[in-house]
Structure 1
Amino acid sequence: MKLIMFGTREDEKKAALSWAEKNNVEITFNPSPLTLENVHLLEEYDGLSTSQTAPFEDDIYEKIAAQGIKQVAQRSAGFDMFNLEKATAHNLIISNVPSYSPNAIAEYAVTAAMNIIRNTEKIQNKVKQHDFTWNKSIISKEIRSMTVAIIGTGRIGTIAAQIFNGFGAKVIGYDLAPNEKAEAFLTYTDSLEEAIGNADLISIHMPLTKENTYMFDKSLFAKMKDGVFIVNTARGKIVNTKDLLDALNSGKVAAAALDTYENEAPYFPKDFSDKSVEDDVLLELIQREDVLISQHIAFYTETAVMNLVEGGLDSAKQVIETGSCDNRVN
C-alpha cells in the first residue's frame, strides 16, 4: 500500500514514519497542499492524507476520483474546508480526526483567558517602556470571582470547563446536545442568550456549521454584560470580526483571545516575516493591546501532532481495506 501525505510539516514526519513501519505501508511526504496543480501525483498512490487550511477548489473532487482514489483523510478535527456534497457526488469519503488531544486546545483556551484577564500584554508593554507603576489600566479580576460560559460542551469544552472549575469559577454552559460528562463541571442554561448574558468570560468550543456562522455578531454582543471577555479557539467564522472590533471599541468586550480568524487561510500557518500582510482587519487585531491573537496553534503539542498523523493515516488505510472508515464525515 502506498500513501501520500500532502501539507506535511517536519514535525509530522517522525510519527508518520513510525506508523508506516508498524503498518507496512509506504509513505511519501509532500510539503504542499493538495491542489489542481499537483492532483496528478495521486496516480501513483492508493490513498492520501492532507492537512488543508484553505478550501478545496470544487473541480478537484472529480480529479481525485479520476486517479482511482476513494478517500481524503484530513489531519484535523475541522472539515469545513471541504464541499461534502461534491465529495459524495464523486464517491469520495472525507474523514477527520475528531479527537486527537482535546486537552491541548482546552489548556490553551484557559491559558489565553488568563492572559487577557490578567492584562499580561499590557503589563509587559509597560515594563518594556520602564513604566513600573501600578494603575487601573492593569488591575485584573480573579477567575474564582467570575462566571465562565462554555459554548459548545463536547470533548474540548468539557475539559475547559473542568479546568475553569478547578480555578473556582462558576461555570455555565450551552450546547444543542448537552453532554452528561460536562455536568460534573458546569450547569447548563436553557438558551445561548442566557449563557452569554450571565457570563463574565465566554469560551467558544463549537464546530463551524451553516447555522452558527457569524453567530457572534453585533446582536449577540449587545446581549452580553459590559466588559465581558471572549475566547475563541474553535473556528474563526463563528465570530464576526468587525462586530467584535466594534464591541471592543465600545467597551462591551473588555478583551478577546483569538486563536482563529475568519480570513486566516492566506496567512495561518505561513511565514510573513518578510512579506506584507494585506488584511487590514488582521493587522488591527495584531496591533491591539486588548486582543491576543495566535496562528491557530492551540492544538499544537507533541501528543496532538502524533495523534493527528496516526488518525489521518488510519482512516486512509481503513477506507482502502474496507471501503469505509470510523471517522467518515460525509
Structure 2
Amino acid sequence: MRFIVYNVRDDEIPFIEKWGKDHQVDVTSTTTTLNTETISEAQGFDGISCLQTIPYSRELFDSFHQLGIKYLALRNVGIDNIDMQAAKDNGVLITNVPAYSPESIAEVAVMMALYLSRKVGYMRQQLQDKHEFHFSSEFMGRLISEQTVGVIGTGRIGRHAIQLFRGLGAKVIAYDKYPLKSTNGEFEYVDHLEDIFGQSDIISLHMPATQDNFHLFNHEVFEAMKDNAILINTARGSIVNTGDLIFALESGEIAAAGVDTLENESADLQDSRSTKKITDSDLIKLSMMPNVILTPHSAFHTTESVKNMVTISLNNLKVMFTGGRPKDIVG
C-alpha cells in the first residue's frame, strides 16, 4: 500500500509522517500541484491525496486510468472544480473531508464582520498611508448587536457562524435551499434570497459553489442590498462577480467586504512556498481598499483543521484501497 500526497504545505508534513508511521503505510509527499504534467510522479502508487482549487480535468482522470490509480482523497470540502463524470468514466473513486473544522471558517467570517463593522481598515490606512495616528470621528463603527446578519447556507459552517453572531447579540436570518427541520429558535429562515439582500446589514456566505449560484452576487444584487451592508465570502469565489463587487464598493452600493475565496484562484495561492507577487489587477485593487479585508483562502487554516484534513483524507484512501466504502464518498 503506497500513497502520494500532492500540494503539501510545511504545516501538513508532521501529520502526514505521523499517519504513515501509525498505520505502517508508505506515504510520499510532494509540493507540486496535481495536473496532467505532474501526475507522472504518482506512478507506482495506489492512491492520491490532494488539496487544490484549480481544475481536476478529464485529461487528468484519463491519466489516472493509464497509471492504474483508482482512488483520489481530497483534503477539502469543495468538489466544484472536479470533472465528476470524467472521474466516473475512468473508474476513480473520490472522497472529500466534509467537516474538518467548521468552527475555523466560521470564526474568520465573524472576525471579518467585526473588523469591517469597526472600520479598522480605515484606521490602518490612516497610519500606513498618511503616517498619522490619532482619534477620528470618521471611524465610528457599529455593534454587531445592532445589526441583522443574513446567513446563506446553514450547513455545519453556517450553523457555527450563526452561533457566533448570535453570541454577539445579532439578529440572524438565513436562507437555504434545503432548510433544517428545526432552528431551535436561534434564527429565522426567510423564503427568498431577496429577503436576505434587502434586510441584512451583514451577509455571510456558507454554501457550496454550483452552476445555479455562479455570480449570484452581481451588480443587480448589490443594488438591492443596503448601502451600509457588509458582504463576507468564506465560501467560494465564483459566487461573487469580482468586477461588480469592486464597483459596488467604490460607488457606495455596499459599505464593505470580507473576501477569503477568490475567483480563478491560481496554483500559486495554494503553494506555501511561492514567492510570486500578486499581478491580478482586481486583487491589487481590493487589497488597497480600506473597506475590504482580503485573505488568501486561509479561513480554514488552524491546527485542528490541518490535522483533520490530512488524517481523514489518508484514512479514506486506506479504506478504499482495502475494499471498503468511506462515508465521505462523493459523486
TM-score, structure 1 as length reference: 0.95
2:276 and 2:49 map into 1 onto residues whose CA distance is 29
Which runs of 5 or more structure 1 residues have no equivalent in the other structure?
none
- Counterpart of 2:173 in structure 1 is 172
Question: How far did 1:57 drift?
Answer: 3.5
- Mapped pair 1:303 → 2:304: yes
CA-to-aligned-CA distance 1:52-90 (integer Å, 9 cap, x gap): 221123311011112111111111011222111111111
2:297 and 2:157 map into 1 onto residues whose CA distance is 15
TM-score, structure 2 as length reference: 0.95
- Counterpart of 2:68 in structure 1 is 68
2:79 and 2:289 map into 1 onto residues whose CA distance is 30
Moved more, 262-271 or 119-128: 262-271
2:134 and 2:145 map into 1 onto residues whose CA distance is 27
- Counterpart of 1:109 in structure 2 is 109
- Counterpart of 2:220 in structure 1 is 219
- Counterpart of 1:141 in structure 2 is 142
- Counterpart of 1:269 in structure 2 is 270
Taking a change above 3 Å as real, the CA distance of residues 202 and 64 of structure 1, as seen in their structure-2 partners, is same
1:112 and 1:32 map into 2 onto residues whose CA distance is 31
Which portions of structure 1, spanning 4 or more consecutive aligned residues, are displaced by more than 6 angstroms?
none
Alpha-carbon RMSD across the aligned residues, in angstroms, is: 1.7
Please show how residues 115-126 of structure 1 align to structure 2 within 5 Å: 115-126=115-126
1:132 and 1:77 map into 2 onto residues whose CA distance is 44
Please show how residues 251-262 of structure 1 align to structure 2 within 5 Å: 251-262=252-263
Aligned residue pairs total 329
- Counterpart of 1:5 in structure 2 is 5
Taking a change above 3 Å as real, the CA distance of residues 162 and 50 of structure 1, as seen in their structure-2 partners, is same
1:273 and 1:60 map into 2 onto residues whose CA distance is 23
Question: How far did 1:183 drift?
Answer: 4.3
1:151 and 1:226 map into 2 onto residues whose CA distance is 19
Question: How far did 1:123 drift?
Answer: 1.2
- Counterpart of 1:80 in structure 2 is 80
Taking a change above 3 Å as real, the CA distance of residues 246 and 328 of structure 1, as seen in their structure-2 partners, is same
Taking a change above 3 Å as real, the CA distance of residues 124 and 41 of structure 1, as seen in their structure-2 partners, is closer
User: Is contact 1:93–1:324 with CA below 8 Å preserved after alignment?
Assistant: no
- Counterpart of 2:154 in structure 1 is 153
The 3-state SS of whatever aligns with 2:149 is strand
1:43 and 1:235 map into 2 onto residues whose CA distance is 32
Moved more, 55-64 or 155-164: 55-64
- Mapped pair 1:23 → 2:61: no
User: Is contact 1:75–1:96 with CA below 8 Å preserved after alignment?
Assistant: yes
Which runs of 5 or more structure 2 residues have no equivalent in the other structure?
none
Taking a change above 3 Å as real, the CA distance of residues 11 and 203 of structure 1, as seen in their structure-2 partners, is same
Taking a change above 3 Å as real, the CA distance of residues 320 and 298 of structure 1, as seen in their structure-2 partners, is same
Taking a change above 3 Å as real, the CA distance of residues 125 and 222 of structure 1, as seen in their structure-2 partners, is closer
- Mapped pair 1:49 → 2:45: no
